[in-house]
Amino acid sequence: MQIQQGSGWRFGFDPSRHPYSVLIGGEGWASELRQQEAAALHQAAQRLCHQWLAIRDQLMPEEEISLDTECGPLWAELDGTAAAVSLRFVLQPPAAERALEGCWSGPATEALIAVLAQTAQAEEWLGPA
């Protein structure tokens, strides 16, 4: 598995590690996801990022915003200001499966959203945002 990482984030993808072929991580935590769970995270993050970009010029510098969305079994929230945001998610699949919660701070959020988008295009498994 090729791991990409930076301050406060980690991401890896290895299609041979079925069913948990995606690794995500933050400050002090990491977990493996199925491809469809990673796709839901990508779609939710992209949706929230587009909403934030559309309104951030209208925000005062100290004004805080909170946006949230659901994508299948995944709920995601983008919190922050016009200058920086953090991303938090909760994965709640069917009762017999594991659940997960994670988050990334400002610069880590931006880096993770970018690497998810790059992987979606390169690997063609995440689907459209």
First-to-last alpha carbon distance for the chain, in angstroms, is: 24
Domain count, the chain: 1
Q: Decide if 95 is inside a domain.
A: yes
Q: How far apart are CA 117 and CA 4, in angstroms?
A: 13
- What's the chain's Rg over C-alpha atoms? 14
pLDDT in tens, the chain (129 residues): 789 999 999 999 998 998 999 999 999 999 999 989 999 999 999 999 999 999 999 999 899 999 999 999 999 999 999 999 999 999 998 878 889 999 999 899 989 988 888 876 666 655 444
Q: Domain holding 82: CATH number?
A: 2.30.31.10
Q: Decide if 90 is inside a domain.
A: yes
- Structural domain span for residue 41: 35-123
Q: Decide if 85 is inside a domain.
A: yes
Residue 69: enclosing H or E segment and its boundaries?
strand 65-71
Sheet holding 85-91, edge to edge: 65-71, 74-80, 85-91, 100-104
